């Protein structure tokens, strides 16, 4: 097929003219990444404003993303408030590629802090809830990662009713605790396997709830955060609902070999990001690599492409992830080896 594009939108799909077609690559929707901690040398954090969010979104467009959720990890209340206001301003300004925000914390389990600062982790209170509900009304999407230990089911229900995508993560929750949160309205799991108690045959925990249930679940498919065998198990256990995230940091889209995270130095070495003690601190990952990792673990190609496009888009209700008339023409091309060959095309495009 040929895709006809006019004024930045897909106008039609028509049969491709006969004759040789030398390009063996794949034209596909741009990636949709729901966990983006930073890029272009910037982290989402205390200095974030709408202009910073625009720079991060632009950097990820160059990495193949049609849209992203800039993600704030656990921080002080005033930083959360600043980032929410920056996101509201970015939405008002129509920043290309800005789909909303993801707040990963601070309402997590300190026992599973990972690279988050345990001193900043705390339970959700009524003021936190009111702030999130108010912000969601002014954002295109808001995803919030919480641990079952740090929130009450009625708080999850209130967030879900307000249109917030509630995701569970950074937790030692039991299977019953996780299932109660899903029953209350949680709809996803943040970076499955990472920062949560491992699957046990007598206590399956959050991993078991994700693999045996129907909630969506993000995966950092870099071959480092999740062993290929564990990725294969997840793919087999869950024929639907898994999606790929980069969990990338400020170094994304740059040649930087180090960065600072809340006063701690993060090193970039051999495709991984770590604190000085070796703790993984986000990922050095682009989603075409995640697709290749998923395919190598047994995912059919069409499914792997959907895991980086239509599945995450559907989770937050974004109008992306498909090639069909009327959709935004934010398209990319992968080569025959599934490497990103051409980054996102945006508004103003015409042609076929």
- Looking at the structure, tell me whether residues 242 and 277 fall in a common domain: yes
Chain segment 201-258, per-residue pLDDT in tens: 999 999 999 999 999 999 999 999 999 999 999 999 999 999 999 999 999 999 999 9
Residues 339 and 227 occupy one common structural domain: no
Question: Which pLDDT does position 262 carry in this prediction?
Answer: 86
The answer on pLDDT for 348 being more than 50 is no
Pair (89, 208) in one structural domain: yes
User: What per-residue confidence (pLDDT) applies to 24?
Assistant: 77
pLDDT at 61 over 60: yes
Domain that holds residue 336: 1-29+322-352
Does the annotation count 247 as an active-site position?
yes
Q: Which DSSP string do the residues of 284-327 spell out, in sequence order?
A: ---HHHHHHHHHHTT--HHHHHHHTTHHHHHHHT-S-S---TTS
Total tally of structural domains belonging to the chain: 2
Residue 21 has a pLDDT of: 72
Residue of 247, 270, 277, 288 with catalytic role: 247
Instruction: Examine the domain organization and report whether 197 and 338 are in the same domain.
Output: no
What secondary structure does DSSP assign to 174-209, as a single string? -HHHHHHHHHHT--EESSTTTTBPPP-SS--HHHHH
| Band of pLDDT at residue 347, cut at 50, 70 and 90 | very low
């Amino acid at each position: 097929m040929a895709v006809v594009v006019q004024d930045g939108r897909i106008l039609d799909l028509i049969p491709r003219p006969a004759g040789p077609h030398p390009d063996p690559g794949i034209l596909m929707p741009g990636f949709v990444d729901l966990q983006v901690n930073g890029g272009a040398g910037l982290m989402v954090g205390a200095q974030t404003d709408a202009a910073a969010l625009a720079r991060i979104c632009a950097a990820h467009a160059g990495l193949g993303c049609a849209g992203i959720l800039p993600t704030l990890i656990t921080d002080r209340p005033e930083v959360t408030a600043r980032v929410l206001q920056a996101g509201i301003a970015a939405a008002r300004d129509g920043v290309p590629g800005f789909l909303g925000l993801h707040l990963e914390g601070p309402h997590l389990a300190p026992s599973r802090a990972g690279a988050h600062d345990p001193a900043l982790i705390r339970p959700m209170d009524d003021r936190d809830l009111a702030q999130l509900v108010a912000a969601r009304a002014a954002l295109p999407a808001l995803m919030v990662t919480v641990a079952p230990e740090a929130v009450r089911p009625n708080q999850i229900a209130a967030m879900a009713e307000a249109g917030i995508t509630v995701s569970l993560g950074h937790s030692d929750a039991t299977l019953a605790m996780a299932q109660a949160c899903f029953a209350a309205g949680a709809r996803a799991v943040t970076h499955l396997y990472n920062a949560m108690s491992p699957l046990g045959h007598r206590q399956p925990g959050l991993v078991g709830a994700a693999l045996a249930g129907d909630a969506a679940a993000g995966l950092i498919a870099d071959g480092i955060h999740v062993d290929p065998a564990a990725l294969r198990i997840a793919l087999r256990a869950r024929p639907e609902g898994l999606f790929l995230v980069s969990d990338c940091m400020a170094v994304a889209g740059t040649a930087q070999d180090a960065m600072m995270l809340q006063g701690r130095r993060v090193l970039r070495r051999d495709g991984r990001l770590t604190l000085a003690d070796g703790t993984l601190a986000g990922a050095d990952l682009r989603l075409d690599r995640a697709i290749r990792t998923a395919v190598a673990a047994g995912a059919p190609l069409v499914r792997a492409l959907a895991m980086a496009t239509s599945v995450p888009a559907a989770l937050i209700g974004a109008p992306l992830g498909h090639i069909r008339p009327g959709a935004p023409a934010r398209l990319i091309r992968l080569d025959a080896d599934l490497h990103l060959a051409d980054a996102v095309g945006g508004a103003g495009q015409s042609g076929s």
